[in-house]
Amino acid sequence: PAETMEELVSLCKRRGFIFPGSDIYGGLQGTYDYGPLGVELKNNLKAAWWRANVYERDDIEGLDASILTHRLVLFYSGHEATFSDPLVDNRISKKRYRLDHLLKEQKPSVLQALSQAMGLHQEESLAALVSRLLAEPEKAALAMSTAQVIDPADGAPGDWTPPRPFNMMFKTQIGPVADEDSYGYLRPETAQGIFINFKNVLDATSRRLPFGIAQIGKAFRNEITPRNFIFRVREFEQMEIEYFVKPGTDEEWHQRWLETRLAWWEAQGIPREQIRVLDVPKEDLSHYSKRTFDLMYNFPTLGFEEIEGIANRSDYDLGSHTKGQAELKIQARVLENHHSTAKLAVQDPETKEWFVPFVIEPSAGVDRAVLAVLSQAYTKEKLENGEERIVLKLKPHLAPIKVAVIPLAKNKEEITSYARRLKADLQALGFGRVLYEDTGNIGKAYRRHDEVGTPFCVTVDYDTIGKSQDGSTTLQDTVTVRDRDTMQQERVAVKELPQYLLERLKS
């Protein structure tokens, strides 16, 4: 794995995986653009998730809901009221921080003094301290100054404003008339699009419990402090499943999904020992959650941080968005809904009673997955000749380029046209991108393809076209295949190449 975030960032820029957003105008904080190789890696990762969850199971349907979202969706979901992070400013440095992030950077003695000043026991969690500070903002400002809370930017004690909640949703005007009601939101999670389509999907597919709906798409959060490369950004993608189950079976399904998801990460090259499962403490749970497991990957520089949350959302969401709440014995605490036109419930086949399903939600970030996969694959090797090589040991199904076809002589028409034909034939096999590579010498090409994780380089030379130096034609229609990980080279007959590659590109 990579040792530092910097070496990853540098590789990503150098080889065209990821660039800072709006770079030529000074950048737009919290946005990144995926370059030629980044888009391939990201697409491959999303395809692997879709394949595992939609195609290889028979209990999950796909969906692609709109990003622009009616404000009532996010009112009844609870996001208008509670989807906020605590914010605090330092009046001296003019720096702005997320309160919990700021507190994480403080020495234990500072936190102790702060807890004491707020009337808390010192062994209370950080979350408890944050909510106490938010509950009494004036007192909090004073306490933060007397406890000498440090500004991480300059290491000096700050003059802190009272902390306040900051809603992270991007509000946007919809339509040409800017009146009071003409706004909506960019969705802060893809999940809500699934809940509000529950009845549509049910009616269209005649599904019975348990079943799920899967969606991959963009989500937007106005993060107070986007940071750590693509780990925390304002525009990102999520891969979410809402898996609907009968109340009472939810805890068992929650455990099953935990195992299923860990196995999926392993298949993407992330071994279990690199993931810590956090059983999120009660006081840290989101407003909708009964229980949540966070999967924390051991990132370089950052340490263990969340890549996926697997939440038991109870009957909160369907219960919030359904009409006729009163008859449905909803267990979660939901807002009274006066607007919904759909009954988001199912009928028990035996008792004929209507009830609201519980939901288990595995929710993974695509960008964090890209970062984790890149980080895990990044390998520095000392070679026998004393040189060092960087190689991305990506699982073949994730590699941006599967095979590079390299003509050994760039100005020998017979060789280049043979290589181009071979490229087209391999491309037609459908396992992903095959690149015709004729830049630089062969050594440089190998090194570049090691660095971007191309599993195989195929070289077309004089032997291939039947023009060996010794005049023999025994190697005609054979090519050299070089393996990324072992660097071994093998001579393979061109007519056996498709089978050879197909077998080895399965991961």
Q: Which of 40, 223, 250, 315 binds ligand ATP (CB under 6 A)?
A: 223
| Min separation Cβ 45 and ligand ATP, Å | 12
64, 218 Cβ separation under 8 angstroms: no
| Min separation Cβ 484 and ligand ATP, Å | 28
Q: Report the alpha-carbon distance of residue 469 to residue 491 in Å, rounded.
A: 17
Structure tokens, 223: 């993060």
In angstroms and rounded to an integer, the radius of gyration of the C-alpha atoms of the chain is 27
Binding to ligand ATP by CB under 6 A, coded x per residue (else -) over 360-399, reads ---xxx-xx-------------------------------
| Min separation Cβ 208 and ligand ATP, Å | 28
Residue 215 CA: distances (Å) to CA of 66, 193, 345, 357, 424: 11, 9, 21, 19, 33
Contact between 221 and ligand ATP by CB under 6 A: the answer reads yes
Contact between 242 and ligand ATP by CB under 6 A: the answer reads no
* Part of the chain binding ligand ATP (CB under 6 A), chosen from 97-105, 155-163, 230-238, 244-252: 230-238
Contact between 308 and ligand ATP by CB under 6 A: the answer reads yes
**Binding residue count for ligand ATP, defined by CB under 6 A:** 16
Q: Report the alpha-carbon distance of residue 431 to residue 397 in Å, rounded.
A: 8
Which is closer to ligand ATP, CB of 117 or CB of 285? 285
Burial-class residue 308 by CB neighbours within 10 Å (0-12, 13-18, 19+).
buried
Q: Which has the closest alpha carbon to 344: 184, 209, 248?
A: 209
| Min separation Cβ 179 and ligand ATP, Å | 31
Burial-class residue 448 by CB neighbours within 10 Å (0-12, 13-18, 19+).
middle
Which is closer to ligand ATP, CB of 43 or CB of 222? 222
Q: Report the alpha-carbon distance of residue 291 to residue 283 in Å, rounded.
A: 11
Which is closer to ligand ATP, CB of 47 or CB of 285? 285
Which is closer to ligand ATP, CB of 77 or CB of 363? 363
Q: Which of 196, 307, 392, 481 binds ligand ATP (CB under 6 A)?
A: 307
* Part of the chain binding ligand ATP (CB under 6 A), chosen from 306-314, 327-335, 440-448, 481-489: 306-314
Helices 366-377 + 36-50 axis angle, to 10: 110
The torsion angles phi and psi of 262, rounded to 5 degrees, stand at -65, -40
Structure tokens, 131: 């909510």
Contact between 232 and ligand ATP by CB under 6 A: the answer reads yes
Q: Which of 238, 274, 312, 480 binds ligand ATP (CB under 6 A)?
A: 238
* Part of the chain binding ligand ATP (CB under 6 A), chosen from 200-208, 305-313, 374-382, 460-468: 305-313
Q: Which helix (H) or strand (E) covers residue 478, if one does?
A: strand 478-483
Q: Report the alpha-carbon distance of residue 389 to residue 217 in Å, rounded.
A: 36
Amino acid at 318: L
| Min separation Cβ 300 and ligand ATP, Å | 17
Which is closer to ligand ATP, CB of 375 or CB of 478? 375
Structure tokens, 179: 């009146």
Instruction: Name the residues that contact ligand ATP, by CB under 6 A.
Output: 189, 221, 223, 232-233, 236, 238, 306-309, 363-365, 367-368
